[in-house]
Amino acid sequence: MTATIFDIARLAQTSKSTVSRVISGKGYVSQAKRQAILAAIDTLHYVPSQAARNMRRQQTHIIGFLISDYFQLAGEFLTAFGKAADAQGYHVNVYFTQTAERELTVLNGLMDHSLDAAFLLTRLNHWVRLTPYAQFGPLATWQRVDSPVIYSSYVDHYPLYMQLLRRLAAQGYRRIGSVFTGTRHANTQAKLQALKDFQAEDPAVDTSWVQYHEGQHGAGSQAADVWLTTPQRPDAVICFSDYVAAAFIAHLREAAIRVPQDVAVVGMDNSEISRLMGITTVDLHIEAQAENDFAYLYNRLNEPQQPMKPVVPKIIERQTTNY
């Protein structure tokens, strides 16, 4: 049964008019009562009527940018996103959401109209928990999600990983290792499927050396320590980001390991650090992805529409492989 404004008022122990003020964003409501109403809306998965949704067209021109932890590529992404927003007269508020609860608290800004839209660079809650917020304002993400109501600028990593594996194998590498982020991530699952399919395609290449790390900080050096103690070391390693690849290389160099003579290393993103260190990588066109994410949010809120840019990834060959 669909929840009504009366159900919200009953659960929050307040009046219908107070709930209406929170939903419309008009009129004073104490912070304590506002939080109680927002909690009731969240609990009952309340979806406002079309009339209530129309009332929110008085925009704040503020977009929430949610991130759980800083990493090097996040800065490049935020810069491109912020410039695109500024060009259209929007402000970007950055929220470091360290907990799942904090993430939901920020998204409550869509319900009380303190935010026009939200972008999730990272997430801590399951998509099932986040999707209902799209009823209150447009949502976009950099992560992979197949949703009719949340826009994702993700690039499918399956064909990219297959291309990298085949390319390294064609260059004569016979033990190809992988450093992945956590298995809950859709792109990791896509890469694992690529490993499985490639192994069936070319069983002469050993792809069994796989390391998992939740987050970029420390991942490269930890993976390098494992590589150093592995009897049958991979002669090529693909890392899930340029930052991790850079840390992997730096740690190996401290142990007098030469790249690419002793091991080839490939990153992912074509970020500034890969250009500075000469790391072979995949250009995912991060700037275009960020601009597309903003364009989607803008287009949901305004007329006329902003154009979306094509994103066609490509391998960038540098000094860390024998390409």
- Work out the burial of residue 204: count CB atoms within 10 Å of its CB; fewer than 13 is exposed, 13-18 middle, 19 or more buried: exposed
106 C-beta neighbours (distance < 10 Å), count: 20
Over the chain, what is the mean pLDDT? Answer: 91
SS3 168: helix
State the pLDDT at residue 172. Answer: 95
State the pLDDT at residue 49. Answer: 56
State the pLDDT at residue 5. Answer: 84
What is the secondary structure of 18-38 as a DSSP string?
Answer: HHHHHHHT-S---HHHHHHHH
State the pLDDT at residue 86. Answer: 97
State the pLDDT at residue 51. Answer: 42
Query: 113: left (phi > 0), else alpha (psi -120 to 50), else beta?
Result: left
Domains of the chain and CATH, by start: 1-58 (1.10.260.40), 60-154+286-311 (3.40.50.2300), 157-283 (3.40.50.2300)
State the pLDDT at residue 149. Answer: 92
75 C-beta neighbours (distance < 10 Å), count: 12
Tell me which residues of the chain have a pLDDT lower than 70. Answer: 1-2, 24-26, 47-58, 323
